[in-house]
Structure 1
């Protein structure tokens, strides 16, 4: 037995050539997975809704770095860089390490963008350094108020910070996440900060993420293309997709479905997208519509449409909710079921939201087509039961009517016999 066990373990000597091959394969995997992960939003999505896709306050990355209206905040980004690097005495050494790391990553950075970057090597490295360190310092300042200056432009008012957070979230305003990781490992982080880069980012975007952010941290400990992709991963459903044989993807509105015998209830799950159908009831996690909802949905949908082979989970969710919410009565019913948590005071806004973010999705990509088929089959079974019940009732009524008629005729016949007998014996 011992000799068999020894034969299973073969000692291999790893050569320098093997290590080079392994690194080459690793680089190839990373390059393919990151290729064109940051792209421009298609015109069909942004037309007449530019504010939802293009930055208005601060530019991140190469797509909008030359936009004239955004020049006013460039100096503020440099101030953030200066503040971050000056938390240690030897600024030059830290800066050199950052530049070296970014130079090594330049080719990979260029592959991340769906458009050609018309910047030379030095300009691209400078851009990644300033924007990457700006984001890190922004996350730190958001997490620790003690790091903020009173005259900080970005934290001066709620409206300014709202726009800043939106700008950092936009698909066209991203830099690769691996750049943030590398810089985060090099730059001096305040000793009082105990959070990881992912924890800082999730805390910053908590208004865009439904559910418990802390519970989602474990789910997000994986590779991400960029910050928007990090948030997108928090939306991914935890339920397995319901198997579907057909292409059914349309549901009636909430009020119509309820009139057809379908119920609605609040689901208690980890993900907003965990919708299922159980015993005639569609269970949907609660949704709170707020100022960030539209811009969040729009950019997550734009991200999903960047790739031909990417899952369309958020697109499917918005399509489904748009089918269910067609009128104020639909909003009221979902509010009473606990599915819309602020439905009554914002009912017009909710209807408008799903009308404005009008999306279509191919049946092959539609995550809820199996659920739609379950609803369709359930309605068909209800109709069959009603039909069978009606047929049985109709048949019973017919037999009852015949029985009554038979009794009446028998009674009449008996009466005639009695009268006939009486008349013949008088």
Structure 2
């Protein structure tokens, strides 16, 4: 079949025109796409400075550790507001707000207090994820005001000295559940809101004398004298989980201006920069010990609690025939699982801390606890103080919360490196264990025991000398 040359020319012209239009369209699309790309990059850079400070629990973590991230008795903030299961305590917020208002030293009107909180409403809303806070400004401000009054009443009040009525009795009965709920990631209120009301509650901090008090029992505190002390005392209640000294508590320096919420503040007082890190981290990357407490004990390693209570305070010292592993003490109760996992969730959030100190601590403890007998040894050394009822439950707790968690590769790397070096010494493990248990612990556990051993050694030496001179008398 032949084709007319004129027809071929027309088809070629049409194809050429089509290609030209396509190229022009492509150029326009490319130009438009470039503009959109540059705009998106610019906007993304701007958005990074506005990340929510109070985020949601990552979905994968929630699915694997369900039941530890939702409030049991009280909702704080917008994420769980309106939950029908929390209605009982929602009804307490009005009378508790009244109690907080009556306790304010400045005796200002309730209207002024509310309006002052409402002025922070826009900044407070930016602390939550977009679309998570209610769109009604008045409702959001109401949530902020009532919830802040509730938190501060719990934070500042010694309930044992309060006049007992239906409100305080219900609060006292559920006190530990309330404390648990106040430390949930999704149950936080911006600290900027709390600070506004705290200034109504107390006189200016510079007018107050320093508040120093030891805390012999967790959760039992006297009313504070300044708003900084109020926050400090609240953290002391929660850090009562750890056996810390009153002297350390007096050294706390709270950075209220830079802390977004209470959970962040609490975390800052459970962690500190690693005090025993090796400078050459590249050499330690592969060092990860998986030896249990029982195995380490058989290798001549014994355990003792640290003095600071910080989760990062882990140190190993190798001596001539034995080693000492220092671990942070922890009080474990029914709320510990939720408490630790919410700190883990905070570390996993895009807006969260830049390190994984809490996650790494959990993984470290799980690597040491392979059996309830390991728990028993740590309890014996007062590293773990358990109120769970059995060693098996405490073993299961660390086993459950550590699943699917990945620690920082460098966390505790130097301690693990030293432990492995110690365990590879030529002295047989059973000899090290026997010498440590039977001699170091039994005979050198107190000054009197040491003096008794020393006296026995001197007596044996003198007896040997006397025997020698009896058998081989000196020639005269």
TM > 0.5 between the two? Answer: yes
Q: CA deviation at 1:296?
A: 1.8
Maintained 8 Å contact 1:272/1:287: no
Matches within 5 A, 1:206-285: 206-212=239-245, 215-223=248-256, 224-237=259-272, 239-243=274-278, 244-245=281-282, 246-259=285-298, 261-273=299-311, 274-279=313-318, 280-285=323-328
Residues 149 and 335 (structure 1), Cα distance of their counterparts in 2 relative to 1, 3 Å cut: closer
Aligned pair partner of 1:111 in 113, 123, 126: 126
Summarize the Cα distance change of 1:262–1:239 in structure 2 as closer, same or farther, 3 Å threshold. farther
Deviations 1:308-351 (A, max 9, x none): 65221111111000010011222233334443345996211111
Contact between 2:346 and 2:353, CA under 8 Å: does it hold in 1?
Answer: no
- 370-379 vs 77-86, which moves further: 370-379
CA distance in 2, matches of 1:343, 1:153: 25
Deviation at 1:79, TM superposition (A): 1.1
State the SS of the aligned residue for 1:112: coil
Partner of residue 136, structure 1:
152
Q: 1:357, CA displacement in angstroms?
A: 0.8
Counterpart residue number, 2:371: 327
Matched pairs, number: 349
Could you report, residue by residue, the CA deviation over 1:345-384 in whole angstroms, capped at 9, with x for unpaired residues?
Answer: 621111111111124554645521232222233334x15x
Q: CA deviation at 1:269?
A: 1.8
Which position in structure 2 is the counterpart of 1:406?
Answer: none
TM-score normalised to the size of structure 2?
Answer: 0.65
Superposition pairs for residues 96-175 of structure 1, below 5 Å?
96-103=112-119, 105-116=120-131, 117-141=133-157, 143=158, 145-152=160-167, 155=170, 158=173, 160-175=174-189
Distance in 2 separating the partners of 1:49 and 1:237: 26
Unmatched segments (≥5 aa) in structure 2: 1-46, 209-222, 429-476
Q: Is 1:292 aligned to residue 325 of structure 2? A: no
User: CA 1:360/1:48 → structure 2, altered by over 3 Å: closer, same or farther?
Assistant: closer
**How far did 1:68 drift?**
1.8
Q: C-alpha distance in 1, partners of 2:387/2:150?
A: 38
Q: Cα gap change, 1:136/1:94 in structure 2, threshold over 3 Å: closer, same or farther?
A: same
Q: CA RMSD in A?
A: 3.2
Counterpart in the other structure of 1:350: 394
Q: Call closer, same or farther: CA 1:97–1:34 in 2, change over 3 Å.
A: farther
Match of residue 93 from structure 2: 77
Are 1:181 and 1:197, in contact at CA under 8 Å, matched by a contact in 2?
A: no
Q: CA deviation at 1:112?
A: 1.6
The alignment's TM-score, normalised by the length of structure 1, stands at 0.72
- Give the equivalent residue in structure 2 for 1:371: 415
* Cα displacement (A) at 1:59: 0.6
What is residue 471 of structure 2 aligned with on the other side? none
- In the alignment, is residue 64 of structure 1 matched against residue 88 of structure 2? no
Which of 201, 208, 214 matches 2:234?
Answer: 201
1:339–1:97 distance in 2 versus 1, CA, 3 Å: closer
> What is the CA deviation profile of residues 393-418 of structure 1, one whole-angstrom value per residue up to 9, with x for unaligned ones?
xxxxxxxxxxxxxxxxxxxxxxxxxx
- Unaligned residue ranges in structure 1 (runs of 5+): 1-30, 387-426
Contact between 2:77 and 2:187, CA under 8 Å: does it hold in 1?
Answer: yes
Work out the CA distance in 2 between the residues paired with 1:298 and 1:272: 17
Once the two structures are TM-superposed, the CA of residue 237 in structure 1 deviates from its matched residue by: 3.3
Q: Does the C-alpha gap of structure 1 residues 55 and 121 become closer, same or farther in structure 2, counting only changes over 3 Å? A: same
Does the CA contact (< 8 Å) of 1:174 and 1:228 recur in 2?
A: yes
Any idea what the Cα deviations from partners look like across 1:151-179, whole Å, max 9, x if unmatched?
12664664x22222211121111101121
SS at match of 1:251: coil
In structure 2, the partner of 1:185 is 199
1-structure distance, mates of 2:152, 2:50: 21
Give secondary structure in 2 for the equivalent of 1:99: helix
